Chains A and B, each alone.
Chain A
Amino acid sequence: MSARDPFDGREMPANGKSHVCVYCVRGVRKLSPASWNEYTATCNPDYAITLSDTPFTASPHSQKRLTKSLERSAAWLADSLKAALTKFAASSDGLPPTGYPSLLVHMAGVSDPQARRAFAESLVEPLETVDRDRLEPLNTLDEGVAGYVFDLVPIRMALSARCPADVLADPSDLLVTNPEPAPTGAGDVRHSRDFVGLLQASLQPLPAEKPRTVNSTRSPHEMLQLILDVGIDLFDAHWAQRAADIGIALDFKFPVSDAPTDDNHNDASSAPRIRANGKQDIGHNLYNSSYAHDHSRLASAFLDAASAQATSIPPTDSSICKCAACSPRRPSAHISHSAVDAMPAQPSRSASDNILPPYTRSYIHHLLHTHEMSSHALLVMHNLAVLDAFFAGVRAVLARTDGQAELRHEAEKFMERYDETMVVFDEAKVEWREVELARGKGRLAREKAKQHESTIGTAVDLEQADS
C-alpha cells in the first residue's frame, strides 16, 4: 500500500515538515505521516511504504531542499516505526509484530548520488540517544525496515533535458498521471544507464538480504538491466498495463531462444514489426489498419491453448499464453435461473475439452476502434501474462549453473532483438487519441454540431449522396 501513485509525476504544491501533497480522487490533499500510519494500521496490508518527501514542485531543486527531503523522510520512517512499536508489543522475533504491515522505505535522494548514499547511511547509523529510547529495541532504523523501494519517475524527471511537467499530455488521456516526455528516443534509453549508478549508491551501505522494489520502469529492457546490475527483485507492471490502455498487445519472450524464429514459426500469427534499427517491436499496435483482417491470436511468441491442443502439447506448457484472451475456456458452470433451463452438458473432467479458440487481433482491433472497454480487459489480461512469462524466463535462466553469466548473455540477446525505444507505443498513443476524440465522451454532441453547421467534417450531403 502506497500513499501516492508512484507513476504520478504531476506538479504538486510543496510538501512540508509534517505533510505530503497527494493527488486523490477528490483533488490534492495534504497527508500527514500520523494520518498515514493510522491508515496503514487500519487497512493492514502485508506491506506499507512509509511516507517519503519527494518534491514534485517545479525543478530544479536546491541542495537545501534535497537535504530537507532526506531529513524528513528519515524522521517519518522513525515515526512509522514508533507507531508500529507502540501499537503492538514487539514480538520476540523483532519487527514486524504480527497483525501490522511490514514497512518498506522509499530511498530518498532523487538523482543526487551523494544524497542517496547519505540517506542510506542514515538508515544504518546507530540511533542517537533520543531515538534509541523511543525506538527500543531497534538499534538502527534499518532494523525495522523490511525492504527498499525506488521510484523512477522523479529520477527520470530530474534527468530529463526539459521539465516534463510542461509537456503534460492531453488531459483527456486517461491515467495521464505521468507526464511522459513527448518524443521517446535514445534520450530516455540513456537514462536507464544512469539509474544503475543512483540505485547502487542507495544500496551500497545497506544489507543485501532485503527485497528491492522498483516502480515505473518503462520496458522489459530496463527491467533486465536493473535485475542484472542492481539486483532488483520486484517491479510494478505499470508499463504493461499502460500498453493495454493504448491498444498494444505485448508479444515478446525471454529468453529469446524460446521464442519461435521465422524458420520454426509456421502458423498464421505474425511476429511484430521490425524497425529501421533492425530491432523488433515488443508488441502490436492493434489500432493499426494492418490488423483489421488479421484473424490470428495476439502473440506470435506463444501458442494459444487450442493450437497447442491440436499439436498435442500439454496445456501447462510454458510455450502457451494461458491468458483468457489467448486461451479462453468454456466456463465449467453456468448460473441456472429456473428449473426448466436446459442443463448444460456435464463438463468433462479433463480441462482440454473446454478449450476455445483465441480472441483474434482483428476482434481487438474492432473493439479498439469502436471504443469498447472489453478491449482493455482482454489486453490487460494478456499483457500481464506475457510479463509474468518474462519473469518466469528470467528465473529459469538464473537457476542454471553460472546463472548470473547466463542471464547477462541472454539479456544481451534480448536487447539485440527487441526495440527499446518503444516507438510502437508512440504510434499507438496517436491512434488512441484519434479514436477517443471520435468516439469518447461528448462526441455525438460534437458530430451533431458539425452536422448543423455545414457540410464540412463528417456531415454528408444526403441529397447528393442519394443517386
Chain B
Amino acid sequence: MQFEVLAKCPTTRARVSRMRLHHGATMLPTFMPVATQAAIKGLTSQQVESLGVNLILNNTYHLNLRPGIDILKEIGGAHKFQGWSHNLLTDSGGFQLVSLSKFTKITEEGALFASPFTGQPTMLTPEESISIQHAIGADIIMQLDDVVSSLTVGPRVGEAMWRTIRWLDRCIEHHQKSGKAGVQNLFAIVQGGLDHDLRDQCLEEMIKRKDRVAGYAIGGLSGGEEKDVFWRIIKQCAEKLPEDRPRYSMGIGFAEDLLVCVALGVDMADCVFPTRTARFGVALTFGGPLNIKLSKYSTDMTPIDETCPCPTCAGGISKAILHHTATLETAGAHALTQHNIVFQARLMGGARDAIMNGTFPEYLKRFFADYFGDSGYPVWCVNALRSVGVDLLENAEHAKVVPGDGAKWEYSDKA
C-alpha cells in the first residue's frame, strides 16, 4: 500500500492521511462499517457506496463457515461475491475467540472452534486464517491474534500477548510466501490487555517487524473496561507506533470514543454499533442518539437532521414515520441504517476537514458541547483530550462533568 500523511494537527496527535490500496484510495481518519457476513445488513453494496463509504469490514471466521473458501475461490473473492468494488478489510477471527469463547479452545497451534450453528469443529491457525483471508481477497488483512477479554487479569493476558507476537511471525511468513503481499496488506495487532508494561513489550516487538507489516491495530480493548484505562492504553500505543503506518483501533464506534482516538493519533476504527443500534430504532445525531421509539417522536414531522445528506433525511422522511416503522418494518431498519452510516462518515469527514484546516481543537470542543453540553462531559474525555492539549472546559463556565463512561442515551420522560 501507499500511505501518505497529508496534514498533522499542531495541537493534538491527529493527522490526515491517504491509504492507496488495490481497490482505490481511502482518506483517513475514517470509520469502517461492518459487513460481517459479506453484507451490510439490509443494504445493497450500491447503496453503501452511494453513502460515501469506501472501506468496509468482513469477518474471516464467519465467511469461512459460510460460504466457505471453495465458493469464494470459485467466484474470485469476496469483492465479487458481495458486489463491492472498493476497499475491504478482514478481521482474522481473533475477536471470535472472545465472543464465542464458550465454543473455543486455544492452544499454541491455533484456536479450535465448535461452530454454534452446525457443531462442526474448525481449527483456526494463523496460517489458516491468512489463507482464508487470501481467498476472501481483502485489501487489508489482519493477523490472527490471541485475544482475551479486556476484563481478564492474571498470567493469561501476558501469555496471550506473547503468543500474538509468535502468531504474527507465522502470519507474516505465510503471507510473504504466498506472493500476495503486494496486493493484500497485513496489519499486526498490539495486545497486552490493560497492562502498560505488557503493551510496551508488545509494541517494542511488533515495531521490530515494521518492514514486513503494512499497519498496526490496537486490539484487546472495547470489552467493557473502564474508559479511563481505555484511553490511556490507546494513547500509549498510538504514541509509540510508527508515524508512517496507519493505526487502527478495533471495535470503536461511539462518536466520543472515535474523536478521542483520532485526537490521540488513531486513523481508523470499526464497530457494529451504528448499524446495530439503527436496527434497534436509534438514530445518531450531533446532539446525541435519538431513541426513535419514544412516543415524543410520534408526531415529529421533521427529519432526524435537517442538514444530513443521507437518503433518509434528504428524502424528508420524518421521525414520525420512523417511529411508526422502526423495529417493525425492514424499511425502517434500512432508513435508519443509512442515516447512521452517514452520521459516522460525517463525524470523521468533519474531523478530516478540521485537521486539514488546523481547527481540530475547535471541532472537538464544538462536538462535545453540542453532544454532551446538556448531560455533562464524560470526565474521561476531558482528561484524554487535556493530555493532548485540548481543554474542553475552557471558556465553558457552566459545563458539567460526569464520572464514568458518560455514554449518552435517551430515556422516556414518562418513566
Contact = CB atoms under 8 A, between A and B. Distances in A.
B121 interface: yes
A292 B345 contact: no
Contacts of B44: 324-325, 328, 359, 374, 377-378
Contact of B46 (A25, A336, A356, A438): A356
Interface string A367-398: 10110111011100000000000000000000
Nearest to A439: B117
Contact of A377 (B42, B70, B71, B82): B42
Contact of A340 (B74, B83, B333, B352): B352
Contact of B114 (A339, A370, A460): A460
Contacts of A439: 117
A369 B66 contact: yes
A465 B51 CA distance: 45
A378 B25 CA distance: 28
B50 interface: yes
Given A337-B345, A377-B43, A458 B102 contact: no
A340 B6 contact: yes
Contacts of A359: 44, 83
Contact of A462 (B41, B43, B114, B356): B114
Interface residues of B, number: 60
Contacts of B117: 438-439, 447, 458
Interface in B346-369: 346, 348-350, 352-353, 356
B328 A25 contact: yes
Nearest to A451: B102
A315 to B, nearest CB: 16
B66 A462 contact: no
Given A373-B42, A462-B105, A295 B74 contact: yes
Given A373-B330, A374-B39, A338 B116 contact: no
A288 to B, nearest CB: 14
B65 to A, nearest CB: 9
Interface centre among B6, B38, B74, B116 (most CB of A within 10 A): B116
Contacts of A178: none
Given A336-B52, A338-B350, A465 B37 contact: no
Interface string A304-335: 00000000000000000000110011110111
Contacts of B195: none
A444 B103 CA distance: 11
Interface in B306-336: 309-310, 328, 330, 333-334
Contact of A447 (B18, B27, B116, B346): B116
Given A341-B349, A458-B115, A295 B75 contact: yes
Given A340-B352, A342-B24, A372-B41, A377 B334 contact: yes
Contact of B50 (A292, A325, A334): A334
A413 interface: no
A357 B25 CA distance: 22
A301 B49 CA distance: 29
B46 A328 contact: yes
B116 A324 contact: no
A338 B28 CA distance: 11
A366 interface: yes
Contact of A374 (B43, B62, B309, B353): B43
A340 B66 contact: no
Contacts of B352: 337-341
A460 B103 CA distance: 8
B5 to A, nearest CB: 12
A465 B349 CA distance: 48
Interface in B67-98: 67, 70-71, 74-75, 80-83, 85
A376 B330 contact: yes
B154 interface: no
Interface residues of A, number: 50
B151 to A, nearest CB: 19
Contacts of B121: 460, 462, 465
B16 interface: yes
Nearest to A378: B44
Contacts, number: 153
A336 B38 CA distance: 24
Contact of A337 (B50, B66, B348): B348
B93 to A, nearest CB: 16
Interface in A427-467: 438-439, 444, 447-448, 451, 457-460, 462, 465-466
Nearest to A359: B83
Nearest to B81: A363
B46 A334 contact: no
A46 B102 CA distance: 56
A258 to B, nearest CB: 28
B393 interface: no
Nearest to A373: B42
Contact of A372 (B37, B51, B348, B349): B37
B49 A366 contact: no
Contacts of B6: 340
A360 B120 CA distance: 27
B342 interface: yes
A293 interface: yes
A18 to B, nearest CB: 27
Contacts of A339: 352-353, 356
A242 to B, nearest CB: 14
A360 B346 CA distance: 32
A362 interface: yes
B42 A374 contact: yes
Interface in A254-307: 292-293, 295
B118 A292 contact: no
Interface string A73-96: 000000000000000000000000
Nearest to B50: A331
B107 interface: yes
A457 B103 CA distance: 13
Nearest to B49: A331
A241 to B, nearest CB: 11
B403 interface: no
Contacts of A366: 37-38, 66-67, 71, 81
B379 to A, nearest CB: 30
Nearest to B103: A451
A459 B52 CA distance: 42
Given A372-B37, A457-B119, A335 B309 contact: yes
A51 B340 CA distance: 40
Nearest to A463: B105
Contacts of A293: 70-71, 74
Contact of B353 (A338, A451, A460): A338
Given A295-B74, A458-B118, A335 B46 contact: no
6 contacts: A335-B50, A335-B342, A340-B16, A377-B42, A377-B334, A378-B44
> Which 7 A-B pairs have CB atoms at the shortest separation, nearest pair first?
A337-B349, A460-B114, A331-B50, A458-B119, A335-B52, A338-B349, A338-B352
